[in-house]
């Protein structure tokens, strides 16, 4: 089938932007990333975008495809329902060039909730046991690949870059609800803040955008209840 | 331009109706102040409120309040219960359906009333 691919271009130095249009013959089962690689290979080698593993694991190629954030490597042409493919960079993050955005603010936000395991005891003498039920509580949020599709789909984040954003809450959820973890205090200090959890208005854009199908809005509401119940 | 889903539309409508209701309250207080000027002023204001423009406005106000109130209840339920988060699609449909019924039935009753 024939598709029209519109790719957002932005000059790194001047910041001038435009859309470049390419018409290509593709297989409906091709992925958007395949088509982009082909265009870069055969039509215009100057198109800049991130990709790494190409299999939905590394989270490098999150971009806005036909108005929704998705991974280019997970999106099939046939899933897009139509012959127009419009590819734009993630919203809410500064565009450095073409489809490449500055992920630094996103990663800095993740750091605020100490995104690593903090043991309850200083020196565990043996392995820390966890039941299946205890693991199940935060199973969903362990799947995050930190692609940024959720945070950059959030209207609250678009209007306020200081807002921690859904990805940070997913990370916080993963550790706060871990029965072995003891780092609640510092995480909650960051979450229970004017730029924290309470700017979430349950818009569900994050849940829709997540390529790992994490129920993000649900995880955020669990965190909200947890923090309110602690008071 | 990011695709507007029903959830995102609800968030937008919630903001728009919220600001509209605040706007109405300010206007309402101003109207009450006008009415307090005496019997003639009172009658004049009431006559203005009987014009088609204001009657349509009243029905729109009811629709805005119905949606804002019901959508607010949906959001509160989602914040407080796991169940509401899992059934959020169903709750969205109920919100819109109830708001529609309240606006149409209430609007009709307001329209036919003298």
Contact A202/B7, CB-based, under 8 Å? yes
**A130 plus A85 within the same structural domain:** no
Asked if residue B60 belongs to a domain, the reply is yes
The answer to whether residue B106 sits within a structural domain is yes
A57 lies in the same domain as A160: no
Tokens for A1, please give them: 């089938």
B76 in a structural domain:
yes
A171 at interface of B, judged by CB pairs closer than 8 A: no
Partner-chain residue, chosen from A67, A204, A222, that has the shortest CB–CB distance to B2: A67
Residues B1, A67: C-beta atoms closer than 8 Å:
yes
How much helix, strand and coil, in percent to the nearest 5, is found in chain A? 35, 15, 45
Do residues A116 and A65 share a domain? no
* Number of domain units in chain B: 1
Does the beta carbon of A168 lie under 8 angstroms from any beta carbon of chain B?
no
pLDDT in tens, B65-95: 999 999 999 999 999 999 999 999 999 999 9
Question: Cβ A215–B1 below 8 Å, yes or no?
Answer: no
Q: Say whether both A88 and A133 belong to one domain.
A: no
Q: Per the CB < 8 Å rule, is B8 touching A215?
A: no
Look up the CATH number of the domain holding residue A63: 3.10.20.30
Please say which residue of A49, A69, A101 terminates a domain: A101
Whether residue B28 lies inside any domain: the answer is yes
Q: Give me the residue from A64, A215, A221 closest to B78, CB to CB.
A: A221
Claim to verify: residue A34 and residue A119 sit in the same structural domain: no
Mutate to test the interface with B, among A140, A169, A221, A224 (most CBs of B within 10 A): A221
pLDDT at position A127 is 83
How many structural domains are present in chain A? 2
Same domain, A93 and A153: no
Residues of chain A with pLDDT under 70: 124
**Predicted local distance difference test score (pLDDT) of residue A231:** 81
List the CATH number of the domain containing A143: 1.10.1060.10
Which range is least confidently modeled, A64-73, B15-24, B31-40?
B31-40
Would you state the pLDDT for residue B114? 65
Let me know if residue B72 belongs to a domain: yes
Q: Do A192 and A118 share a domain, yes or no?
A: yes
Does residue B1 fall inside a structural domain?
no
Handedness of CA A22, A25, A30, A34 (dihedral sign): negative
Cβ within 8 Å of residue B36, ≥6 positions away: B42
Please give, rounded to a whole number of angstroms, the shortest distance from the CA of B22 to a CA of chain A.
19
Is 70 exceeded by the pLDDT of residue B39?
yes
Quick check: is B48 in a domain?
yes
Give the domain range for residue B17.
6-112
Statement to judge: residues A124 and A95 lie in one domain: no
Q: What is the pLDDT of residue A97?
A: 96
Instruction: Strands of chain A (E only): list them.
Output: 2-10, 17-25, 62-65, 68-71, 84-88, 95-97, 100-101
Chain B nearest CA to A137, separation (Å):
13
* Nearest Cα residue in chain A from B86: A218
The confidence score (pLDDT) of residue A134 equals 96
Q: Tell me, yes or no, whether A149 and A43 share the same domain.
A: no
A:1-60 residues touching chain B, CB 8 A cutoff: none
Two tokens at A112? 């605020």
Q: ipTM strictly over 0.85?
A: yes
Last residue of a domain, one of A101, A136, A161: A101
Whether A229 contacts chain B with CB within 8 A: no
| Same domain (yes/no): A37, A133 | no
What pTM was computed for the model?
0.92
CATH number reported for the structural domain that contains residue B33 in this entry: 1.20.1300.10
Question: What is the three-state SS of A23-69?
Answer: EEECCCCCEHHHHHHHHHHHCCCCCCCCCCCCCCCCCCCEEEECCEE
Q: How far apart are CA A47 and CA A55, in angstroms?
A: 21
A139 and A220 part of one domain = yes
Query: What is the spatial distance between Cα A35 and Cα A60, in angstroms, rounded to a whole number?
Result: 16
Handedness of CA A190, A192, A193, A198 (dihedral sign): positive
Establish if B24 belongs to a structural domain.
Answer: yes
Question: In chain B, what percentage of residues exceed pLDDT 70?
Answer: 99
> What per-residue confidence (pLDDT) applies to B33?
94
Are A114 and A223 within one domain? Answer: yes
Nearest residue, CB atoms, B79 vs list A67, A215, A224: A224
Residue range of the domain that includes A69: 2-101
- Starting at the edge strand found earlier in the chain, the sheet holding A2-10 runs A17-25, A2-10, A84-88, A62-65, A68-71
Of A101, A129, A159, the domain-final residue:
A101
Cβ neighbours of A222 in B, within 8 Å: 82
Contacts of A69 (CB under 8 A, 6+ apart): A62, A63, A90, A91, A149, A150, A152, A153, A209
Chain A partners within 8 Å of B8 (Cβ): 155, 203-205
pLDDT of residue B1: 86
């Amino acid at each position: 089938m024939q598709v029209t691919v519109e790719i957002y271009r932005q000059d790194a130095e001047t910041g001038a932007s435009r859309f470049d249009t390419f018409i290509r013959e593709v297989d409906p089962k091709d992925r958007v990333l395949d088509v982009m690689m082909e265009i870069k290979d055969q039509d215009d080698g100057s198109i800049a975008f991130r990709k790494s593993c190409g299999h939905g694991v590394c989270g490098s190629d999150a971009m806005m495809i036909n108005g929704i954030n998705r991974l280019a490597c997970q999106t099939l042409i046939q899933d897009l329902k139509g012959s127009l493919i419009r590819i734009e960079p993630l919203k809410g993050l500064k565009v450095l060039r073409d489809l490449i955005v500055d992920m630094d603010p996103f990663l800095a936000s993740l750091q605020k909730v100490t995104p690593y395991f903090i043991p309850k005891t200083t020196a565990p003498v043996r392995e820390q046991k966890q039941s299946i039920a205890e693991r199940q509580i935060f199973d969903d949020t362990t799947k995050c690949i930190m692609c940024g599709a959720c945070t950059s789909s959030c209207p609250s984040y678009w209007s306020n870059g200081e807002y921690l954003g859904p990805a940070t809450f997913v990370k916080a959820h993963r550790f706060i609800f871990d029965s072995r973890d003891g780092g609640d205090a510092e995480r909650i200090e960051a979450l229970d803040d004017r730029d924290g959890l309470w700017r979430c208005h349950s818009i569900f854009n994050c849940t829709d955008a997540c390529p790992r199908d994490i129920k993000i809005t649900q995880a955020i509401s669990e965190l909200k209840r947890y923090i309110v119940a602690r008071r | 331009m990011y695709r507007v889903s029903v959830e995102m539309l609800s968030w937008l409508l919630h903001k728009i109706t919220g600001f509209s209701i605040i706007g109405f309250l300010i206007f309402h207080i101003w109207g009450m102040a006008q009415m307090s000027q005496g019997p003639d002023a009172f009658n004049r204001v009431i006559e203005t409120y009987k014009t088609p423009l204001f009657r349509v406005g009243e029905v729109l106000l009811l629709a805005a309040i119905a949606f804002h109130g019901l959508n607010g209840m949906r959001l509160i339920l989602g914040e407080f219960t796991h169940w509401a988060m899992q059934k959020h699609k169903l709750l969205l449909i109920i919100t819109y359906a109830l708001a529609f019924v309240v606006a149409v039935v209430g609007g009709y009753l307001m329209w036919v009333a003298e």
